[in-house]
């Protein structure tokens, strides 16, 4: 059984034994070149072999509350044999489009599904072009499509949304800059009000072939899908030109699914951000993250592209140690083992290094993963997830103050309790930790002390 709830930076919810949390947060995109990993109290042991996630068992059998881990691995990144992988992101997206019969709602920070959108000629954009074509075809199948993107957003030459509008797709932007002084950093899909995707991937061809992403697809969970739809609808309404943030939010945006009352299903729950977009009944993303760290008893493994105990985008920047304090408290007071994988690429902000070095003074190790590419904002570890001995969390936000104060994002909190030891191997929580171990022990991980002048890491 699972209990799940949605958490959001601006919208929140929860309910039961295993939990999925959707977090709505406003933030900005970054990239995968090197992954920095930090561990508290002991260095990781030699990696163990892991089984590959089953591609056939259950895939395509959309039983109630069927949940799968989804990943994209950049081209030419090769791992050793017998390690765990999620279902390919491209396959998951194509599958969701193929099973749609009534409605598809998609939220993405920005849209760049072809190389032309960023003035790049690369054959690796082929999967993105196919996804764009598949979305174009949905209205001809009498499937209603609504798409949301953020203002402000990433500057591109993208014509994706213009093409889709010409095919009958409804498109709306949300000016989070005007509403919260942030951005809409959420990335999720809702299909037929019963299938859900939540993860780190924007609607970008690089997310399919050039950037390391991670997410979760949940099939036939209408309770969770309808709750996430309230978050989508809050964005959609705020996308009107004359919109203003309601105080308080109307009752129709309330939720009975939250940290105190997670949804008990055969899968998971959801949380949100920023606070201004969260009715009191919804669990906020930051609240979900802090609760997960506080409740951990043995270990906390975190993979996030950026880690700053400060704000990043407001001027002047200010110190914001909320999550950092929670990590240090868990490590010092409860002797919880903490491992942190942080991305480091050629576009990473070097000011992150002192914070990571400070954590390293607590016997924390940092690991970069480096890959070279001529494609801008690619070859990055864009994941945003956490796994502990109790729960798994998959979100859309980087870990700095802005993402929880002014930025909109979505997160999924999964608490899974297998009643039989054999089932434990299939638990998403176990799979997510196997993926973390795979990366932590891979040849791409570099200890902070060994970083020095790494050619692919701006922090070195």
Active-site residues, by number, are 185, 187, 192, 382
**Contact criterion met (CB below 8 Å) for 97 and 135:** yes
**Contact criterion met (CB below 8 Å) for 112 and 158:** yes
Cα atoms found within 13 Å of the Cα of residue 259, Cβ hemisphere only: 23
Cα torsion 270, 273, 277, 281 to 10°: value is 40
Note the Cα 57 to chain centre separation in Å.
Answer: 25
For strand 269-273 and strand 2-9, is the pairing parallel, antiparallel, or unpaired? parallel
**What are the angstrom distances between the C-alpha of 263 and each of 14, 227, 249, 298, 457?**
6, 10, 22, 25, 42
Residue 358: how many CB atoms within 10 A of its CB?
Answer: 13
Residue 60: how many CB atoms within 10 A of its CB?
Answer: 11
Give the Cα-Cα-Cα angle 244, 249, 253 (nearest 5 degrees): 120
């Amino acid at each position: 059984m699972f209990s799940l709830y949605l958490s959001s930076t601006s919208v929140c919810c929860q309910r039961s034994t295993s939990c999925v949390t959707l977090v709505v947060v406003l933030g900005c995109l970054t990239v995968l070149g090197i992954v920095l990993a930090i561990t508290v109290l002991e260095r990781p042991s030699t990696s163990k072999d892991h089984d590959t996630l089953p591609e056939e068992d259950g895939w395509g059998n959309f039983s109630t509350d069927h949940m799968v881990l989804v990943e994209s691995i950049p081209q030419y990144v090769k791992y050793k044999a017998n390690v765990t992988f999620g279902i390919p992101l491209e396959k998951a997206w194509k599958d969701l489009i193929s099973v749609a019969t009534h409605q598809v709602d998609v939220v993405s920070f920005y849209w760049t599904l072809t190389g032309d959108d960023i003035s790049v000629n690369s054959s690796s954009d082929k999967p993105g072009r196919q996804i764009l074509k598949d979305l174009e075809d949905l209205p001809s199948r009498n499937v209603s499509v609504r798409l949301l993107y953020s203002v402000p957003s990433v500057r591109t030459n993208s014509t994706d949304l213009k093409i889709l509008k010409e095919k009958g797709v409804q498109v709306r932007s949300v000016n989070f800059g005007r509403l919260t002084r942030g951005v809409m950093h959420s990335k999720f899909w809702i299909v037929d009000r019963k299938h859900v995707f939540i993860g780190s991937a924007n609607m970008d061809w690089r997310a399919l072939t050039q950037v390391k992403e991670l997410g979760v697809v949940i099939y036939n969970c209408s309770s969770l899908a309808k709750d996430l739809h309230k978050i989508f609808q809050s964005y959609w309404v705020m996308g009107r030109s004359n919109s203003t943030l309601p105080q308080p939010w109307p009752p129709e945006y309330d939720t009975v699914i939250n940290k105190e009352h997670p949804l008990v299903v055969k899968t998971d729950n959801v949380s949100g951000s920023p606070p201004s977009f969260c009715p009191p009944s919804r669990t906020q993303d930051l609240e979900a993250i802090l609760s997960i760290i506080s409740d951990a008893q043995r270990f906390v493994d975190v993979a996030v592209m950026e880690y700053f105990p400060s704000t990043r985008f407001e001027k002047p920047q200010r110190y914001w140690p909320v999550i950092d304090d929670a990590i240090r408290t868990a490590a010092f007071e409860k002797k919880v083992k903490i491992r942190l994988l942080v991305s480091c690429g050629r576009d990473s902000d070097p000011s992150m290094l002192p914070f990571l070095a400070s954590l390293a003074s607590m016997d924390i190790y940092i690991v970069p993963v480096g890959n070279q590419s001529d494609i801008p904002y690619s070859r990055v570890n864009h994941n945003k997830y956490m796994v502990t001995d109790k729960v798994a969390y998959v979100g859309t936000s980087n870990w700095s103050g802005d993402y929880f104060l002014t930025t909109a994002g979505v997160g999924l909190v999964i608490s899974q309790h297998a009643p039989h030891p054999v089932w434990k191997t299939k638990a998403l929580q176990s799979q997510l930790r196997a993926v973390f171990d795979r990366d932590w022990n891979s040849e791409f991980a570099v200890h902070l002390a060994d970083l020095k002048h790494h050619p692919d890491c701006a922090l070195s």
